[in-house]
Amino acid sequence: MSKVQDNVAAAVAAESPRNKPEEAAEADPNVVSYGALHFRRRLLRTKHVRYQKTAKDLVTKLGEPGEKDTAKDAVKYSYSLLRVFSLTYNFINLEKDDDKAVIPTDFSDELK
20 domain residue, yes or no: no
Confidence of residue 107 (pLDDT cuts 50, 70, 90): confident
What distance in Å separates the CA atoms of residue 82 and residue 101, rounded to the nearest whole number?
A: 11
pLDDT at 78: 93
With 0-12 / 13-18 / 19 or more C-beta atoms within 10 angstroms meaning exposed / middle / buried, residue 105 is: exposed
Length of the chain equals: 112
Q: Which domain range does residue 109 map to?
A: 38-112
What distance in Å separates the CA atoms of residue 86 and residue 107, rounded to the nearest whole number?
A: 9
pLDDT at 15: 55
Q: What is the mean pLDDT of residues 39-64?
A: 93
17 domain residue, yes or no: no
Q: At what angle do helices 71-93 and 34-63 cross, to 10 degrees?
A: 160
13 domain residue, yes or no: no
If one counts the domains in the chain, the total is: 1
- Taking the model in full, what pTM does it have? 0.64
pLDDT at 100: 87
pLDDT at 29: 72
22 domain residue, yes or no: no
Q: What is the mean pLDDT of residues 61-76?
A: 90
Residue 111: which residues within 8 A CB-CB, separation 6 or more?
Answer: 82, 103
pLDDT at 47: 92
Query: Is residue 104 within 8 Å of residue 93, measured between CB atoms?
Result: yes
47 domain residue, yes or no: yes
Confidence of residue 13 (pLDDT cuts 50, 70, 90): low
Confidence of residue 9 (pLDDT cuts 50, 70, 90): low
Could you count the other beta carbons within 10 Å of the beta carbon of residue 58? 20
